[in-house]
Structure 1
Amino acid sequence: GQKLPIVPLSDGAGEVVAVGAGVTRIKVGDRVAGIFFQAWQSGSLTREKTKSALGGAIDGMLAELVLLHEDGVVKLPEYLSYEAGATLPCAAVTAWHALVPRGHLIPGETVLLLGTGGVSIFALQFAKINGARVIITSSSDEKLARAKAMGADETINYKTYPAWEEQVYRLSDREGVDQVIEVGGAGTLDKSLRSVRIGGRVSLIGVVAGAGDVNYAQIFMKSIDVQGIYVGNREMFEAMNRVMTLHQIEPVIDRIFEWKEAKAAYQHLQSGTHFGKIVIRV
Structure 2
Amino acid sequence: MGCRFMTAYHGVLNQGRVRPGEWVAVYGAGGVGLSAIQIAAAAGANVIAVDIAEDKLDFAKQMGAVATVNSKQEKAFQAVREITKDGANVSVDALGIQDTCTNAILSLGKRGRHVQIGLTSRMKITSDMANFCFVL
Smaller-chain TM-score range? 0.7 to 0.9
Find the aligned partners of 1:183 and 1:143 in 2 and give their Cα distance.
Answer: 14
SS in 2 for 1:203: strand
Aligned to 2:47: 134
Matches within 5 A, 1:1-282: 87-88=1-2, 90-161=3-74, 163-173=75-85, 175-187=86-98, 188-208=100-120, 210-211=122-123, 214-222=128-136
2:16 touches 2:114 (CA, 8 Å); kept in 1? no
Calculate the aligned-residue CA RMSD, in Å.
1.8
SS in 2 for 1:215: helix
How far has the Cα of 1:216 moved from its partner? 2.9
Aligned to 1:31: none
1:92 touches 1:119 (CA, 8 Å); kept in 2? yes
For residue 106 of structure 2, what is the amino acid of its counterpart? Answer: R
Find the aligned partners of 2:60 and 2:18 in 1 and give their Cα distance.
Answer: 20
2:34 touches 2:63 (CA, 8 Å); kept in 1? no
Which whole-Å deviations, capped at 9, do the CAs of 1:43-78 have from their partners, x for residues lacking one? Answer: xxxxxxxxxxxxxxxxxxxxxxxxxxxxxxxxxxxx
Find the aligned partners of 1:204 and 1:126 in 2 and give their Cα distance.
Answer: 16
Which whole-Å deviations, capped at 9, do the CAs of 1:133-157 have from their partners, x for residues lacking one? Answer: 0000111112211211222111011
- The alignment of Structure 1 onto Structure 2 pairs a total of residues equal to 133
Find the aligned partners of 1:101 and 1:164 in 2 and give their Cα distance.
Answer: 25
How far has the Cα of 1:208 moved from its partner? 4.0
1:183 touches 1:208 (CA, 8 Å); kept in 2? no
Q: TM-score, normalised by structure 1?
A: 0.44
How far has the Cα of 1:104 moved from its partner? 2.1
For residue 50 of structure 2, what is the amino acid of its counterpart? Answer: T
The structure with the greater share of residues assigned to helix is: 2
For residue 194 of structure 1, what is the amino acid of its counterpart? Answer: L
Find the aligned partners of 1:160 and 1:209 in 2 and give their Cα distance.
Answer: 25
1:168 touches 1:176 (CA, 8 Å); kept in 2? yes
Moved more, 134-143 or 206-215: 206-215
Unmatched segments (≥5 aa) in structure 1: 1-86, 223-282
SS in 2 for 1:108: coil
Moved more, 147-156 or 186-195: 186-195
Larger relative contact order, structure 1 or 2 (CA cutoff 8 Å, min sep 6): 2
1:115 touches 1:138 (CA, 8 Å); kept in 2? yes
For residue 167 of structure 1, what is the amino acid of its counterpart? Answer: A
Q: TM-score, normalised by structure 2?
A: 0.87
Find the aligned partners of 1:146 and 1:209 in 2 and give their Cα distance.
Answer: 27
Unmatched segments (≥5 aa) in structure 2: none
1:194 touches 1:218 (CA, 8 Å); kept in 2? no
For residue 170 of structure 1, what is the amino acid of its counterpart? Answer: E
Find the aligned partners of 1:209 and 1:176 in 2 and give their Cα distance.
Answer: 28
